Amino acid sequence: MRRQGSGWRTAVGGVLAAVLAVTALGGCSQEVRGEEDLAARPYTGAFYDDPPAAPGTPGEIVRSELAAGGPFGATAWRILFRSTDLSDRPVLNSGMLLEPDGPAPDGGRTIVSWTHPTTGSAEKCAPSRSADPYVWIEGLQGLLKQGYAVVSTDYTGMGVPGPNSYLVGATEGRNVLDAARAARDFLGSAASGRVLLWGHSQGGQAALFAAQSWEEYAPELDLRAVAVAAPATDLASLMRADIGDVSGVSIASYAFDAYADVYGAPLDSILTPAAVAALPTMAGFCLLTQNRALHDVAQPLVGRFLAGDPETTEPWAGLLAANTPGAAAIPVPLFVAQGLSDKLVRPASTASFVAGEKQRGTDVVYDAIPGATHGTVANTALPAVLRFFGSHDGAAE
């Protein structure tokens, strides 16, 4: 089925990305309400029903279906594929795969594995479960125009059942690499082994962990470069710095719920009794699409959420440190964009991360963008990202 309305969709995608951060920062304008209604329209098919068992080869696609409504000049599929979590246990992931129409270049297309920013952590919050999943992929039109195949994973626990993996870096990183494996195998000779990673916010953290683990976990992939916008780095400082507003409470609720689930960490050692009681409700809400409901629960907890300092209270300090990127040098060129008006991921934290990567020997391009916010930085940086990818994708080799 050929897609319709790509110009409208491109405009909505840009607005949606910007609104995502506005809502996270506590605003709830009439524009936000309209975008909530738009983004909340669910996928209504049976694709996610009765998912197969998880065991199998990482990167193996176990289910696919053509997806309508995508950009002109491209074919889109929803996919279910196999991956593993941080403990090597098999998991099942969902996602999207898009390929430009027409013949692939000699040697096959370079694959871009896109890693999405926070949309929640519950199954229903998966971007691929939207009626229009394309709006979540920042830069999709430009990537397809540049000839890339684009794959995006819903992190483990979203889309189909699995352990909560919100800000669990090792699991997210494996998901990202296995999505690239899935795209390469599904497209066959139309795809090359060349891979680029591109992520925003939580997705930036996921892309960085994928790059750190690539040589050990998926060495058969030919990773060429990584680009991130406002990546979630220095997680403990992020939690403490932002906890004074509704955005910090919302994001921390997802993270603490996930770490309690994955690592068995005791919630009552870091959260107040009121926060512990509210956490199951908050973790069930999706960011943006259920923003008003999430804020109704989060707002009374501002100033009453933490019972301890996440930078010093164990086991939380150690867990947050283990899920902070930067334990090893990124072995390929890295592009980092940061909005200097970002109130969620602070510019000082990103600058510190970049300085650390340079000290570790990573080849880093740092683009600090005046006026860009957490929601606008990815789209603002896109022209530079596309140029960066074009200089490193190796398609002409």
**What pLDDT was estimated at residue 41?**
61
CA torsion through residues 352, 212, 151, 366, sign: positive
Give the mean pLDDT of 14-39: 40
pLDDT over 50 at 27, yes or no? no
What is the tens place of the pLDDT at every residue in 167-195? 999 999 999 999 999 999 999 999 999 99
Whether the model clears a pTM of 0.85, i.e. scores above it, the answer is yes
**What pLDDT was estimated at residue 354?**
97
Residue 130: DSSP 8-state = B
> Of 19, 8, 91, 16, whose CA–CA distance to 52 is shortest?
91
Q: Could you give the CA distance from residue 247 to residue 361 in angstroms, rounded to a whole number?
A: 34
What is the tens place of the pLDDT at every residue in 288-297? 788 888 888 9
**What pLDDT was estimated at residue 242?**
52
Q: Could you give the CA distance from residue 314 to residue 269 in angstroms, rounded to a whole number?
A: 8
> Of 358, 379, 381, whose CA–CA distance to 368 is shortest?
381
Q: Mean pLDDT lowest for which of 36-50, 61-75, 305-319, 320-334? A: 36-50
Give the mean pLDDT of 83-93: 96
What is the tens place of the pLDDT at every residue in 107-123? 999 999 999 999 999 99
CB 369 within 8 A of CB 345: no
Rg (CA), the chain: 19
CB 82 within 8 A of CB 167: no
CB 337 within 8 A of CB 224: no
3-state secondary structure of 387: helix
Distances (CA, A) of 184 to 141, 190, 295, 388: 20, 8, 40, 22
Residue 41: DSSP 8-state = P
Domain 6-234+324-392: assigned CATH number? 3.40.50.1820
What is the tens place of the pLDDT at every residue in 201-223? 999 999 999 999 999 999 999 99
Give the mean pLDDT of 53-82: 93
Q: What tokens appear for 181 in the block?
A: 């494996």
3-state secondary structure of 131: coil
Q: Could you give the CA distance from residue 267 to residue 271 in angstroms, rounded to a whole number?
A: 6
pLDDT over 60 at 32, yes or no? no
What is the tens place of the pLDDT at every residue in 272-289? 999 999 999 999 999 878
Q: What tokens appear for 300 in the block?
A: 């009374």
CB 242 within 8 A of CB 24: no
Give the mean pLDDT of 244-261: 88
Mean pLDDT of the chain: 87
CA torsion through residues 258, 259, 261, 267, sign: negative
CB 233 within 8 A of CB 258: no
pLDDT over 70 at 26, yes or no? no
Q: Could you give the CA distance from residue 167 to residue 272 in angstroms, rounded to a whole number?
A: 21
Residue 54 confidence class, pLDDT cut points 50, 70, 90: confident
Give the mean pLDDT of 362-378: 96
- Residues near 124 by Cβ (< 8 Å), separated by ≥ 6? 42, 286
Residue 397 confidence class, pLDDT cut points 50, 70, 90: low
**What pLDDT was estimated at residue 396?**
60
Residue range(s) in the chain whose domain bears CATH number 3.40.50.1820: 6-234+324-392
